[in-house]
Amino acid sequence: MQTRKPGILALEDGTILRGHAFGAATNVVGEAVFNTSMTGYQEILTDPSYSGQIVTMTVPHIGNYGVHQDDEESDRVQASGLIIHELSPIVSNWRAQGSLPEYMEAHGIPGLSGVDTRALTKKLRTGGVLKACLSTDGLSDEDALARARAWEGLSGHDYVADVSCKKPYFFNEQGFASEPFTVEGTVLKPAGQDRPRFRIAALDFGSKRSIFRKLAYYGFDVHVFPANSPIETIQELKPQGIFLSNGPGDPAILKDIHQTVAKLIEHYPTFGICLGHQIISHALGAETYKLKFGHHGGNHPVKSLETGLVKITAQNHGYASTEEDLKQRGAEVTEINMTDNSVEGLRHKELPLFAVQYHPEAAPGPNDADPLFDDFYQLVAKHA
């Protein structure tokens, strides 16, 4: 029987959690958060919104269905590390191309199993997110704790610059499949197949591939631009709409992007999600604030203030928009989170503009928010 290598997670409050190392043998620092999704660990790990974070999965058994290249949301693992309770000793899935430990080792990312993730989640939920150091390469408790406390944290660092694309591209230029995943043999007619297609500029703040797939599926030709693209470059495309993606980090420090978006929303129908929602808030002159422990998972209830209906959403963000600021700057709050009443959606009273704080592409997560892509299509069609 192979001996399992020990590892530790040191939290800035002095807590040391011990477990079994897997993945890469290395030492990383990051913000410790928890995710309540039941499945989708590969999509979560490769979501650029997790840049700078060490993710704890609340579901106790992880790794049983392995990994597959088509489930990657970006070209690499973006999370700094992974904390789980129990690592599956086998992979049992007809699609699997490898195991989770092999995948993480190949990407240079450490993991820790055998941790009381229930206790860790309760700590983060009660006290808020904590700076942490995950060591699978033999750091002492004292050294790991010192690294956790010395880390600068998410606020003040431009993580968007680290994960955004480096040059513009057309999403479908390589013939990438834009249809949702289905079992082989299932026929699914694309929603945008029999209607005009519209050209949109998508600003990549750390977008997931599934978002661009959904946009293409609903009838958009998706031209992706780096986050720091000057407005003149975007306007050369003559877009019929603007999409603002998800992404990591503190939205308040992205001053140049705020200014660019403030100009774009004056001229084009615009849809923003997650970080895009927060950037729109700043572009309108509103403020954002850091949530106690953020919203991370595929089971967050959101209530529409326009219809009274509740949808279950996939979320991954640590900041939120200030409701009163939005109302004073021409925006209506359209949706709220039912667990903490934070802002989950906005619509401008005069501009063709709306945004949501969650991930409507749901990868992983429920499909309740799918109609938002069609709402965006209808908004662009109205102003085309």
SS3 268: coil
The residue from 72, 274, 296, 317 that is catalytic is: 274
Under 8 Å between Cβ of 372 and 356: yes
Give the Cα separation of 246 and 104 in Å (integer): 23
SS3 25: coil
Q: Is 361 noted as a catalytic residue in this protein?
A: yes
What does each C-alpha distance from 338 to 172, 299, 305, 309 come to in angstroms?
A: 37, 11, 11, 11
Give the Cα separation of 119 and 128 in Å (integer): 13
Residues with Cβ within 8 Å of residue 70, at least 6 apart in sequence = 181
Q: Is 359 noted as a catalytic residue in this protein?
A: yes
Give the Cα separation of 307 and 27 in Å (integer): 48
Give the Cα separation of 341 and 364 in Å (integer): 23
Residues belonging to the active site: 274, 359, 361
